[in-house]
Structure formats: structure tokens, C-alpha cells
């Protein structure tokens, strides 16, 4: 038998180049295919974009602190509202949950890594160029998109080159999301440990499996919509130009067919995180696991058939309004099942209130409230009054910030010790929770009153009657922003091991186990088995 040259064994490298398989420094991060490294990069990227989007929000709130124009001009104000939305949705919240998925799915499923490790690297490295395009769109002639994050024509057809940069950024972000989703689906379906059936997976894996299908189904729709805007702008088409036989309302239909499932693309992974943490700190298994899976799938399916509840004021036929109203109210049913199951999980559990649990309880209370205001807005006659007022702003921030962001904080505190090997400072974590909770409510609760009183959104100036609640809201916003710098301090302290407490193998007092089951004895009545009658 002929001997094999040594170089062939080592992929064509001799002895000298063997260290290239373990690059260090910047090359390690550029070329890594390790799911943990990529998860960390997603999380740091998302936090960076969270700060950028947050600064834009604070510029908005500074302008709205008093009536009159005092901080920025109206054109720049519109750019801030548009970019704030785009950056927070596509740059901050979505990459954060993809980061959690990268970190935790292989660990939860018993897989060695993600299915397509190099594509995983690529789908991350598409994000920074897209973010640069979005931010630099502010500095080109004519400024960035000033038509809201929804990019409605005809406003978007008339704007400068900043709009083209934004369209390109949205395409790149969409490609990244689609590749990440293909990776997640393949990993979950093909790489589970032997014996782990789908119905034995942790809830976080289930929510991400369903979310990934949503992403693959909706991202191309958004890409189609912004491509049509691009051709309307530069190639003489009239998809959305009424003068050429097009219809600007058609864009709204296409956009919201993406935009409504997008809400659940953000919310479902958050549900998964909460479904991991509540059982752990209640020392009980998740109540109604099967119904949680079915409820998650139901929410995903229903999210595709309710898009036009964003469009009651566009002159839709009455029959269409009725259909979308009832279909939207129907989503409250599976969501209510989830909330009931979370409450039943905590019922008679031996609950401890560490920081992750506090953020989950904050999520549970505030997200439910955001869902309730959503139910209010689903009613056609009510929405026609409240459409494009601050009531809508309050509603979706209760869903996005208190829903997605609070659960992301919970996930960092919960899994952070597993990732870094160090516990965070519990006292500082609780300060961060209470600071964030109070500041959040001071910011967004008054916006319900402003909206009910008729204050329109996306305006830099307003009537004197709205001044008091706007001042309260702006003070809350600056307090909330400061709290997130404090969060960064806590995370850096944890990474550096400043708490001085090494994380044990099971950081949460045996509540971790395999992350979603709990080895502690069941309480007297779990609703699963009938109580023993003596």
C-alpha cells in the first residue's frame, strides 16, 4: 500500500502551517464557523445597533419634550423616526434572537454545531455592511428615508439616494435572515441527539423552528415590495403610481403581508426564552407542553391571514374590515393559551426571584397588556379613530420592548453564566430590572393617553394640550436609555469575572437540568395527575 504524503493529511499544509487551523485575533472572528463565536458576534452587533437606534429614539423624545421646534428640523426628525424603526427591528431585536439561537440550539439539541457552519459565518457578516448602509444613508444628499420604517410610496418614490441605500440594506438583511433560517431548520430537523423526538425538544427550539419557517415565507415578500419601489424610482415602472395605473395601497398589502408575521418573528423566540426560564425558577416542568407547541404553530399560521388590520383607514370594503377584525381577534386565543400555561407553570411552584425570573415576570405582565391594547386596535371602528396616533406607538412598544427586549435581557442573565463561566452581580441585575421596568412604563404608558386624546405620531411639533404627558414620556425615555448603559456595565463585569463567583455546572440550583425539565419533586397538585385522596 502506497504511503500518503504528510501534506495531504493536513489539507495540503506542511508542519509550519498547522496553526492556521486555529487563527487568532481578528482573523478568528472573520473566519470562525463556531456557533458560539457567531452567536456572540450576533449579540454584540445587536447591542451596538440597539444603542444606535436608542440614540435616535432619544433625539425624537428630546424634540417632543416641549411643543415647538427646538432640537432638530422636521426633515431630520422624520429620518430619525424611520431609521429608528428599521434599525431596532432588523438590526437590534432580530439579530439578538438569532444570536441566542446560534448559542443555544446546538447545546439544547445535542448537535456538534449548526448544520451549515460556513453559511452561518456568512449570514452574520452580511449584517455589518447592511447596518453601515442604513446609517450612512443619513449623510448622503437628500438624507435617508423619511417615510417611516414602513417605507410607504409615494413618499419613498420621491426621495434621494438614501432611499436606494435603505432598499439595498433591506435586501442584504433579508438574505442574512433567510440563510440563518435555513440553517436553523436543518439543524433542528437533522441534527437532534438520538432519542430526542420533536415533541421532546425544548420550547426554545420549537419557537425557533416555527419562526424560521415564518422568515423564509415572508422575507422574499418584503424583498419584492422594495424591489418594486426601486423599479418605480429608476426604471419607469408604475407599480405604486396611480398616474400610471398603479396603486399605492397595493404596497401596503404586500408590506403588511410581511409586516404582520414579522411581529411574531420577533415575539415567538421571546416566548421560547420565557418558556425556558419560568419553569426553571418555579422548580416545575412547563405546564401543557403540547398545547404550547400547538399554540405557537397556530399563532404563526394565523399571523398570515390578518395583515390588513393595519389598513382599516385605506377604504377597504366593509366585508374585508369585518373579516380582518374577527381573524385578528382570533389570534388572542392561542396567545391566551400561552399566558395561561405560563401562569399555571408558576402555580404552587417554589419560585425564586432572580433577575432572569424578574424580567420574565415583567414580560408576562407588560406583554399581556400590549396584547390587550392590540385587541382594542383590532376593532375596526376603534382603530379608525386611533390609527396613526400615539396609542398605536404605545401598543407596539409594549409588545416589542416589554415583550422582545425584556425576554432578551432575561436570556442574557439566564444563559450568561453558562457562556462566560462567571455569575453576574445579582444586586446590580435587580437594579437594572427595576430601573428598566419603571422607566419603560413612565415612557410608554402616558402615550396611551396622548393617543386617546388624538395626538398623531411621527410629528415633530404638537398642540399645547399634549405637552405634559410628552414631557413625562421624554423623561422616562432618557431614564430607560441610561439603564441600558448600566446593563452593558453589568455584562462586562460578568465577562471579566468581577462578581468573583464562578458559575457552577448548573448555575440555577439544579433548575437547569437539560434546560427545560426540572429534577425537583412535583408539588402536591400539578394539574397533570389527579391528587391522591386519602
Lookup result for grid cell 415602472: 237
Q: How far apart are the first and last CA of the chain?
A: 77
CA distance 513 to 517: 6
- Report the C-alpha gap between 257 and 124 in whole angstroms: 26
Q: Which three cell numbers stand for residue 178?
A: 433567510
Cβ neighbors of 83 (< 8 A, separation 6 or more) are: 53, 56, 134, 135, 137, 138, 144, 145, 149
Closest CA to 35 of 122, 109, 120: 120
8 Å CB contact between 345 and 281: no
Peptide bond into 154 cis (omega under 30): yes
> Where in the sequence numbering do the catalytic residues fall?
84, 113, 149, 176-177, 260, 262, 264, 275, 309-310, 335, 338, 457
Distance (Å, whole) CA 452 – CA 447: 8
State the chain's maximal CA–CA distance in angstroms: 91
Helix, strand, coil proportions of the chain in percent (round to 5)?
70, 0, 25
Please choose, from the candidates 301, 224, 265, 258, the residue with its C-alpha nearest in 3D space to the C-alpha of residue 95: 265
Cell of 345: 407553570
Amino acid at each position: 500500500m502506497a504511503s500518503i504524503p504528510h501534506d495531504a493529511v493536513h489539507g495540503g499544509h506542511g508542519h509550519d502551517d498547522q496553526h492556521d487551523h486555529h487563527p487568532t485575533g481578528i482573523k478568528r472572528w472573520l473566519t470562525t464557523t463556531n456557533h458560539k463565536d457567531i452567536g456572540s458576534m450576533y449579540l454584540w452587533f445587536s447591542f451596538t445597533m440597539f444603542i444606535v437606534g436608542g440614540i435616535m429614539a432619544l433625539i425624537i423624545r428630546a424634540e417632543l419634550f416641549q411643543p415647538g421646534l427646538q432640537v432638530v428640523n422636521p426633515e431630520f426628525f422624520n429620518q430619525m423616526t424611520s431609521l429608528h424603526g428599521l434599525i431596532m427591528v432588523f438590526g437590534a431585536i432580530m439579530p439578538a434572537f438569532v444570536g441566542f439561537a446560534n448559542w443555544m440550539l446546538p447545546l439544547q439539541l445535542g448537535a456538534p454545531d449548526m448544520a451549515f457552519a460556513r453559511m452561518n459565518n456568512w449570514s452574520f457578516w452580511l449584517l455589518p455592511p447592511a447596518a453601515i448602509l442604513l446609517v450612512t444613508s443619513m449623510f448622503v444628499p437628500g438624507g435617508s428615508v423619511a417615510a417611516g420604517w414602513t417605507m410607504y410610496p409615494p413618499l419613498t418614490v420621491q426621495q434621494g439616494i438614501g432611499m436606494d441605500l435603505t432598499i439595498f440594506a433591506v435586501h442584504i438583511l433579508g438574505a442574512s435572515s433567510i440563510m440563518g433560517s435555513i440553517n436553523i431548520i436543518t439543524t433542528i430537523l437533522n441534527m437532534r441527539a438520538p432519542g430526542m423526538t420533536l415533541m421532546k425538544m425544548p420550547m426554545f427550539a420549537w419557537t425557533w423552528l416555527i419562526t424560521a419557517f415564518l422568515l423564509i415565507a415572508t422575507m422574499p415578500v418584503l424583498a419584492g415590495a422594495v424591489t418594486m419601489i426601486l423599479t418605480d424610482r429608476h426604471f419607469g415602472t408604475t407599480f405604486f403610481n396611480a398616474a400610471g395605473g398603479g396603486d399605492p395601497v397595493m404596497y401596503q398589502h404586500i408590506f403588511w403581508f410581511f409586516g404582520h408575521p414579522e411581529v411574531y418573528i420577533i415575539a415567538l423566540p421571546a416566548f421560547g426564552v420565557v418558556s425556558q426560564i419560568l419553569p426553571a425558577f418555579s422548580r416545575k416542568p412547563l405546564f401543557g407542553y403540547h398545547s404550547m407547541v400547538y399554540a405557537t404553530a397556530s399563532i404563526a399560521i394565523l399571523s398570515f391571514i390578518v395583515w390588513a388590520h393595519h389598513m382599516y383607514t385605506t377604504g377597504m370594503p366593509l366585508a374585508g374590515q369585518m373579516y380582518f377584525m374577527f381573524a385578528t381577534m382570533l389570534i388572542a386565543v392561542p396567545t391566551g393559551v400561552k399566558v395561561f400555561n405560563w401562569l399555571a407553570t408558576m402555580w404552587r411552584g417554589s419560585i425564586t426571584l432572580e433577575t432572569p425570573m424578574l424580567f420574565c415576570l415583567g414580560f408576562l405582565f407588560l406583554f399581556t397588556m400590549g396584547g390587550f391594547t392590540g385587541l382594542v386596535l383590532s376593532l375596526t371602528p376603534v382603530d379608525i379613530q386611533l390609527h396613526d396616533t400615539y396609542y398605536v406607538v404605545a401598543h407596539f412598544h409594549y409588545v416589542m420592548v416589554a415583550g422582545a427586549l425584556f425576554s432578551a435581557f432575561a436570556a442574557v442573565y439566564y444563559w450568561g453564566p453558562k457562556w462566560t463561566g462567571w455569575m453576574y452581580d445579582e444586586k446590580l441585575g435587580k437594579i437594572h430590572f427595576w430601573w428598566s421596568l419603571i422607566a419603560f412604563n413612565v415612557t410608554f404608558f402616558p402615550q396611551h393617553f396622548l393617543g386617546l386624546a388624538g395626538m398623531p405620531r411621527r410629528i415633530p411639533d404638537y398642540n399645547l394640550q399634549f405637552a405634559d404627558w410628552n414631557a413625562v414620556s421624554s423623561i422616562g425615555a432618557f431614564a430607560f436609555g441610561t439603564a441600558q448603559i448600566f446593563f452593558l456595565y453589568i455584562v462586562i463585569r460578568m465577562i471579566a469575572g468581577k462578581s468573583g463567583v464562578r458559575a457552577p455546572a448548573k448555575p440555577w440550583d439544579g433548575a437547569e437540568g437539560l434546560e427545560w425539565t426540572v429534577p425537583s419533586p412535583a408539588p402536591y397538585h400539578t394539574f397533570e395527575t389527579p391528587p391522591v385522596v386519602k
